[in-house]
Amino acid sequence: MKKIYFFFLLFFSFYNHSHEFNPAHLILNEESDFSYSVKLFYPQQYKYNSPKIFYPSNCNFSKVSKSSNIKNIIESYKLVCAEDIKGKDIRFENLDFLTDALLSINFIDGSSYESIAGSRDLVITIPLEQSVYPVAYFNLGFDHLLKGIDHIVFLICLIFLVNGFINLIKVVTAFTIAHSITLSLSFLGIVTISQSVIEALIALTIVFVALDVVENKNKNFPWYYAFGFGLLHGFGFSGALSEIGINNNELALSLLFFNIGIEIAQLAIIPIPFLIVYFLNNNKIFQNIQYLIAMSIGGIGVYWFIDRVVSIFQ
């Protein structure tokens, strides 16, 4: 009966998709006073419903030329404004829940500004003075985890396997240190692995922990397992950041803020499911619910793995 249920869930999971977090990116490079070269990158899946950008009323832009790469549509044009855009608003539209837009402006005086717009906050006001800290990358890291469905379901299964607060600290710390290492190494180009391969392996880690929950084998999930899985997930975290790049002079600080954003989002997710597991772990009804959740996640993970392996050879 359990096997029949599992295969039913596997079949059902074919209707579920793991949406990759791939934000739009608007880059303005000032070439002369109030005149900018502009590039807008956005995911291929939005080519029929592209992000709309509304500049200050005293700005005009030239004809848009389009090109593309494997993941993104690229729009290029010139923007000429009658006065400085500092202190003015730029508004984005057609951003859904899974798409944010990073704005990067490089001014002719050497200063720069970056911010992020999302479906909840579509307007960016460009400050009169340059920001000291690259807060946009904190927001980007935070959103990357919260909108990365595969990372979230992995964390949920990981929490199901943790027994006790001390073990939770060990597992989370190991996972955090590991993915911080590979995130940095991957983004800096020190270690390069195909993103398609990494995404397939991440799906496999989800299947592994889901099966461990289902079989109830390991109540004290070893921290070194979490460290190994964290190394793989770190390569995945670097994917979105590598796609948009860092367009300022604060490479190390931007990378740090992106990683901190991921950690804060991770810490925001963990407490509630951990407390539920801690207080209801011996409850028979909860054990059945946990079993069903793990079976569902395992089935979806199998589908994601097959789908991503197939995409490697396409």
Residue with tokens 């991957």: 186
Q: Which residue has the higher pLDDT, 242 or 128?
A: 128
Assess if residue 142 is contained within a domain.
no
Lowest mean pLDDT among 10-14, 87-91, 219-223: 10-14
Q: Residue 92's closest CA among 129, 119, 58, 57?
A: 119
* pLDDT band (50, 70, 90) for residue 206: very high
φ, ψ (nearest 5 deg) of residue 143: -65, -35
Per-residue pLDDT of 80-136, as tens digits, reads 999 999 999 999 988 876 677 889 898 998 888 888 887 677 899 998 877 667 788
- The boundaries of the domain holding residue 205 are 2-19+148-312
- Is there a single domain that holds both residue 35 and residue 6? no
Q: Give the torsion through C-alpha atoms of 159, 161, 165, 169, to 10 deg.
A: -70
Per-residue pLDDT of 31-60, as tens digits, reads 999 999 999 988 887 777 888 999 999 999
Q: How many domains does the chain divide into?
A: 2
- Can you name the residues that pair with 32 across neighbouring β-strands? 35
- Is there a single domain that holds both residue 55 and residue 12? no
Assess if residue 140 is contained within a domain.
no
Please state, in angstroms and rounded to a whole number, the distance separating the CA atoms of residues 28 and 37: 6
Contacts of 22 (CB under 8 A, 6+ apart): 43, 71, 72, 99, 240, 243
Q: Write down which residue in 106, 132, 158 finishes a domain.
A: 132
- Is there a single domain that holds both residue 156 and residue 243? yes
Assess if residue 139 is contained within a domain.
no
Q: Is the pLDDT of residue 9 over 70?
A: no
Q: Is the pLDDT of residue 5 over 60?
A: no
φ, ψ (nearest 5 deg) of residue 308: -75, -35
Assess if residue 232 is contained within a domain.
yes
CA 165 to chain centre: 27
The pLDDT value given to residue 244: 66
Query: What is the DSSP track for 273-288?
Result: HHHHHHHHTT-HHHHH
Per-residue pLDDT of 177-198, as tens digits, reads 999 999 889 888 898 888 889 9
- Is there a single domain that holds both residue 171 and residue 95? no
Whether 231 contacts 187, CB under 8 Å: no
Q: Is the pLDDT of residue 242 over 50?
A: yes
- Is there a single domain that holds both residue 188 and residue 283? yes
Residue with tokens 């407490």: 271
The pLDDT value given to residue 213: 86
- Is there a single domain that holds both residue 86 and residue 205? no
Per-residue pLDDT of 244-284, as tens digits, reads 667 666 778 888 888 899 889 988 888 888 888 888 878 88
The pLDDT value given to residue 20: 55
Contacts of 256 (CB under 8 A, 6+ apart): none
- Is there a single domain that holds both residue 276 and residue 176? yes
- Is there a single domain that holds both residue 162 and residue 60? no
- Is there a single domain that holds both residue 106 and residue 154? no
- Is there a single domain that holds both residue 101 and residue 115? yes
Q: Write down which residue in 100, 132, 164 finishes a domain.
A: 132
- Is there a single domain that holds both residue 101 and residue 153? no
What number is the average pLDDT over the span 301-313? Answer: 88
Assess if residue 212 is contained within a domain.
yes
Whether 248 contacts 27, CB under 8 Å: no
Assess if residue 219 is contained within a domain.
yes
- Is there a single domain that holds both residue 90 and residue 33? yes
Assess if residue 141 is contained within a domain.
no
Q: Is the pLDDT of residue 146 over 90?
A: no
The pLDDT value given to residue 48: 79
Q: Is the pLDDT of residue 17 over 60?
A: no
Counting other chains too, the contacts that 253-258 makes at CB distance below 8 Å and 24 or more residues apart are 253/133, 253/134, 254/134, 254/137, 255/137, 255/183, 255/184, 255/187, 257/133, 257/134, 257/135, 257/137, 257/138, 257/141, 258/137, 258/138, 258/140, 258/141, 258/144, 258/183
Please state, in angstroms and rounded to a whole number, the distance separating the CA atoms of residues 176 and 226: 9
Q: Write down which residue in 132, 157, 190 finishes a domain.
A: 132
Assess if residue 299 is contained within a domain.
yes
